[in-house]
Amino acid sequence: MSDPSLPVIAVHGGAGALDDPGTSGLGPDAPRCEGVGRAASAAWDLLRRGGSALDAVVLAASMLEDDPTFNAGTGATLTATGHVELDASLMDGATLAAGGVACVKDVKNPVLLARAVLESSGHVLLVGEGASGFARESGIPPWPNDRLITPHQQARYEAARGREPAKIGGGTIGAVARDVRGHVAAATSTGGTFLKRPGRVGDSPLIGAGTYADDRLAAVSATGDGERIIQVTLARLVAGLVGAGRSAPEAAAEGIRVLGDRVGGRGGVIVVGPSGEAGFAFNTPAMARAWSDAAGAIRTAL
C-alpha cells in the first residue's frame, strides 16, 4: 500500500522490443534502465523537497529528452526526409491546464516549450513554425536540427531508407507524479515513428490520447502505436477507470487490453492515482520504467 503522505513519481522510456535497437529504436537494455532511474530519482528528490507534480514531470521528461538512449529530444528517430520532428505535451491535474507542441524541429527540449504553451500561450496545442515562433517569443533559444541527430540514429536512417514507416517501431518517454499536496501531473515526449512522413502527429502531443492528468481521476502517460492510441483515447480511458474505482494497476491493464482488442494496438501506459498508487501495463516485450515504491525507494524494470 502507498503512503498518502509520500509523493510519487513514475517514468517510462518507451514500449518496444528487448535489446533490439535496430527494430524498436529504444536502445540497449542497461542504458534504458539507468536513464529512467536517473530521471525518476531527480524528480523524486524535487517532490520530496515539496516541489510540484508539474515541476517533477517536466524535470524527468527533460532529462530523458537529453539522454540519447531515448526517442525524444536528442537521439530522436528521423523522418523519411532525414530530419528530427519532436512532439510533447503536459497536463496539470490541479487546474486541467494543458500544453502541447508537434512537428517542432528547432527546440532542444519540447517539454519545456509545451510548458510555455500551457502557461502563457492561451492555447493548448501549437505545431510546426507556429510553435517555433512561440518558442522564440518565450525565450527558448533555437537549436539546430542536426544537433538532435545522433550517429546511431543517422546510421539507422541510412540503413533503412525505403522501408515502410508503419512497420518500424518508434518509442516515447513520459512521466507521471503526485506531489505532497495531492496534485497530479503528466508529461509525454517523442520523436515519433521512425521514417514517418514529415508532418505526422501521433498521440504524444494530444491531451487525452498520450497524456492526461486530473486530480479527481489520475495522471497517465502512454507509449506505443500512436495512431491506435489516439483511436481509443488511451490516457483519458485509463484515468477514467481509476476515477470509476479501479486500482491504478487494474486501470492500466484494462486500458492496454482495450488497445489490443479493439484496434490491434501495441504499447504501454504508466499511471499514478490520487491515492498515490502507481500502475503499469504493456503488451510489448518490454517497457523501460522507474518508479518510487511505498517506502520512497526508486525501482526500475524492463
Q: Which residues are catalytic?
A: 172
Q: Which run of H or E residues covers position 22? A: helix 21-24
For residue 48, the tally of other CB atoms under 10 A from its CB is 16
DSSP 8-class letter at 158: H
DSSP bridge pairs for 270: 221, 280
In terms of C-beta distances under 8 Å and separation of at least 24 residues, what long-range contacts does 27-30 make, across chains too?
Answer: 27/69, 27/70, 27/152, 28/69, 29/286, 29/302
DSSP result, 163-208: S-GGGS----EEEEEE-TTS-EEEEEEE--STTPPTT---STTSBT
Which candidate, 134, 121, 128, places its Cα nearest to that of 83? 128
The cell numbers describing 227, all together, are: 495512431
| Whole-number Å distance between alpha carbons of 256 and 54 | 25
Sign of CA dihedral 104, 108, 109, 114: negative
Which candidate, 182, 105, 117, 184, places its Cα nearest to that of 146? 105
- The owner of cell 531527480 is 42
